[in-house]
Homo-oligomer: A and B are copies of this chain.
């Protein structure tokens, strides 16, 4: 039997109810059924579509602009942290449990607004999707982009991933490269006949240690770049001078640089090493000067900050839309066994979005 969700109640209670329906990636059917049923019964003003374990709903009010709100239904695996539990009270009240932060608090806010905002000043599209926590190839938003592309169009995308209730704008790009040092094998008893590729990688590590990452300000948001070794491997045998060493480096770069410029920068930093790009995710500019984004920032009453990690915000940016992160919960608690969300942030996010849409 499909779980009944009360979308008009306090979004905190709704978050607790959502947390208690386990929905590990690939197993979101029960929760998707509950979301679909609740929207069908409690938000009859919305056009509704089901796509696999994703549920899409939208208004057709003929407003001059459209805002897309997106959130994933799935979570990383449960770690003995279900059902939800609560601690503290008043402003210190916390709601614990798998998905409380990432991101059923945000989904609850979206569902609450879907049912209770019948006359928004923007047309609204709600996207509840599946498989965000697994390989990009399985990502439900990617499937929707391929199969129902018109459902993702709009003038602003708000991805309700945890952002501590602050508007996080754009996102940094990420490029991963492999640096290769080569040498010549020899027996370690006659090392001078060879050339040690691991030793040769020392200079690259020195450049990494001395590297000064940029802080880049765009639209009032500060992007803190980073350049980090994430893997190193080399070695043939315990008595052989190694002829190859591979260092994998991850560069997080601000949206003022294109992926091409970021790659060129790394080629400059690591002059003298063979460099191969193995992974590349483009950045998303904040674009907070666009009208709908400006309204949201005003409604939030706070200074927006830069999104540093890479999220599905970038998928919307790639579609040409301004896109921000805005949701309850501390993103650094995502995926931890101890994840918990301050209930006040859930209410705060619902209030901000209600103000924004009024």
Residues of A at under 8 Å CB distance from B?
172, 174, 176, 187-193, 196, 198-199, 201-202, 205-206, 208-209, 213, 224, 226-242, 245, 247-248, 250, 252, 279, 308-310, 332
Contact = CB atoms under 8 A, between A and B. Distances in A.
A234 B232 contact: yes
B236 A234 contact: no
Contacts of A227: 191
B205 A229 contact: no
A250 to B, nearest CB: 5
A223 to B, nearest CB: 10
A224 B192 contact: yes
B190 A228 contact: no
B224 A241 contact: no
Copies of this chain in the oligomer:
2
Given A206-B206, A209-B199, A279-B238, A188 B232 contact: no
Nearest to A191: B226
Contact of A187 (B187, B229, B235, B309): B309
Nearest to A226: B191
A174 B189 CA distance: 9
Contact of A230 (B206, B228, B237, B332): B237
B232 A245 contact: yes
29 contacts: A174-B189, A187-B309, A188-B228, A188-B252, A189-B226, A189-B308, A189-B310, A191-B213, A191-B228, A192-B224, A196-B229, A198-B205, A198-B230, A198-B247, A199-B205, A199-B208, A201-B205, A202-B205, A202-B208, A205-B205, A229-B234, A230-B237, A231-B234, A231-B235, A232-B232, A233-B233, A233-B235, A238-B250, A238-B279
Nearest to A310: B189
A189 B252 contact: yes
A230 B237 CA distance: 7
B226 A242 contact: no
A248 B196 CA distance: 13
Contacts of A198: 205, 208, 229-232, 247
B231 A238 contact: yes
Given A189-B308, A189-B310, 15 more contacts: A176-B238, A188-B226, A190-B309, A191-B226, A191-B228, A193-B332, A198-B229, A199-B205, A201-B205, A202-B206, A228-B241, A230-B236, A231-B238, A231-B242, A232-B232
Nearest to A197: B229
A253 to B, nearest CB: 11
Nearest to A171: B189
A235 to B, nearest CB: 3
A174 B239 contact: yes
A235 B248 contact: yes
A181 to B, nearest CB: 10
A199 B309 contact: no
